[in-house]
Amino acid sequence: MYRYSVFLFCIFLLAACSEQKETPEVRIRNMVSAMESAVQQRSLDQVKELVSSDYSDEWNSDRRAALRSLLFYFQGHQSIHLLTRISDIQLNDDASKASVTVYVGMAGQPVEKSASLIDLNADLYRFDVDLIADGDQWLVSSARWQKARVENFDF
């Protein structure tokens, strides 16, 4: 009887959790995580699914040019390991657009913590990314990046 009660309780918890709607911020965090996984797996197809067809950036790159640049990066780096830190998420009033600041450490070996970034001689960047909502999914509509410092990863 005890096992049956525990089983029913677990089913109830799963049902209750599945009924809760994810907030826009949670979906954005999930999208950043999905992008991180796609890049580490060197999967251009998975990255493409997260980039808006209307993508543009300050260098007048469109989606195709941005994906081509990423392909060149993949070809030059057989092993890609990222450490990402989201420092800020800003939503517009109707949650149809968002801006997110993400610090990314890029290394050829696994990165467990920010203190390892110096030892691994990782490339450090700050990405300021604009997102648009597409149903329940967020897509990258534009991005800007600049070099970052290891101190930017400690938050």
> Does 81 have pLDDT greater than 80?
yes
Architecture of 24-153 per CATH? Roll (3.10)
The helix/strand/coil state of 132 is strand
**pLDDT tens-digit readout, 32-70:** 999 999 999 999 999 999 999 999 998 878 999 999 999
Contact 67, 47 (CB under 8 A): yes
pTM of the model: 0.81
Residue 146, Cα to own-chain centre: how many angstroms?
17
Any idea where the domains of the chain sit in the sequence? 24-153
